[in-house]
């Protein structure tokens, strides 16, 4: 089964390919020659995930691809910090503004939470995946609860991985192996539900 993942994020693509079994061939936007910037104008993760999947689905109708495509899926992920009224949420990737930078985003999060005590740093990661296949649109969700560390830890992963401590662990995502992270992460859980749907 060949699926297009509506992303050019190499980190996300690598994770998804590791999570989904090898019976699924996962193509990126670059793989199919789609280089347009997809505007994420939705007010929610659900809306942005849907926008991206619909955009690529429509693009494929206008640009027939040589390989048979069985479906298109897109994800949108948000970090929701309780003491920040669930911010950055839908603005997670652009929390520190333009130009987009994971390092600047992490620095801003640490700065705005500098006075927040350890027991009030509760947060969760939420991923919404939209699948468009055979004219049907399905959304699935993956959530992992945890907390925000007081300083960056670990060298693996990307985004906020060096700041997010999943519930039940004393390590950040960036201190876990890729296999460990995928088994408990928001994206891992969402992709597991996508696999069940497929």
Closest to 164 in 3D by CA, of 172, 156, 152, 175: 172
164 with 148: CB under 8 angstroms? Answer: yes
DSSP secondary structure code for residue 123 in this structure: E
- Domains along the sequence of the chain with CATH: 2-197 (3.90.950.10)
pLDDT value of residue 67: 72
Query: 100: which residues sit within 8 A by CB, 6+ positions away?
Result: 93, 94
| CA angle at 79 for the pair 162 and 126, rounded to the nearest 5° | 115
pLDDT digits (tens, 9 = 90+) for 40-84: 899 999 999 999 999 999 999 888 776 789 999 999 999 999 999
- Catalytic entry in 70, 75, 76, 102: 76
pLDDT value of residue 125: 98
Structure tokens that stand for 162 in this block: 């060096």
69 with 60: CB under 8 angstroms? Answer: yes
102, containing H or E segment = helix 102-112
pLDDT digits (tens, 9 = 90+) for 174-184: 999 999 999 99
pLDDT value of residue 65: 72
Each residue's pLDDT expressed in tens, for the chain with a length of 198 residues: 999 999 988 989 999 999 998 899 999 999 999 998 898 899 999 999 999 999 999 999 888 776 789 999 999 999 999 999 999 999 999 999 999 899 999 999 999 999 999 999 999 999 999 999 998 999 999 999 999 999 999 999 899 999 999 999 999 999 999 999 999 999 999 999 999 988
Distance CA 14, CA 159 (A): 14
pLDDT value of residue 75: 96
* pTM, rounded to two decimals: 0.93
Q: Does residue 75 carry a catalytic annotation?
A: no
pLDDT value of residue 190: 96
pLDDT value of residue 145: 98
């Amino acid at each position: 089964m060949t699926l297009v993942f509506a992303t050019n994020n190499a980190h996300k693509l690598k994770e998804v390919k590791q999570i989904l079994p090898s019976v699924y061939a996962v193509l990126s936007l670059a793989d199919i020659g789609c280089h347009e910037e997809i505007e994420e104008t939705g007010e929610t993760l659900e809306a942005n995930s849907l926008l991206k999947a619909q955009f690529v689905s429509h693009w494929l109708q206008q640009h027939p691809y040589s390989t048979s495509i069985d479906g298109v899926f897109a994800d949108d992920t948000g970090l929701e910090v309780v003491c920040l009224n669930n911010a950055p949420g839908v603005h997670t990737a652009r929390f520190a503004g333009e130009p987009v930078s994971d390092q600047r985003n992490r620095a801003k999060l640490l700065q705005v939470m500098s006075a927040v005590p350890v027991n009030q740093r509760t947060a969760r990661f939420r991923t919404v995946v939209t699948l468009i296949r055979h004219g049907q649109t399905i959304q699935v969700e993956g959530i992992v609860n945890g907390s925000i560390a007081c300083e960056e830890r670990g060298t693996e992963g990307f985004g906020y991985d060096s700041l997010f401590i999943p519930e039940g662990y004393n390590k950040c995502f960036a201190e876990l192996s890729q296999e460990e992270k995928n088994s408990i992460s928001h994206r891992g859980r969402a992709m597991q539900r996508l696999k069940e749907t497929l």
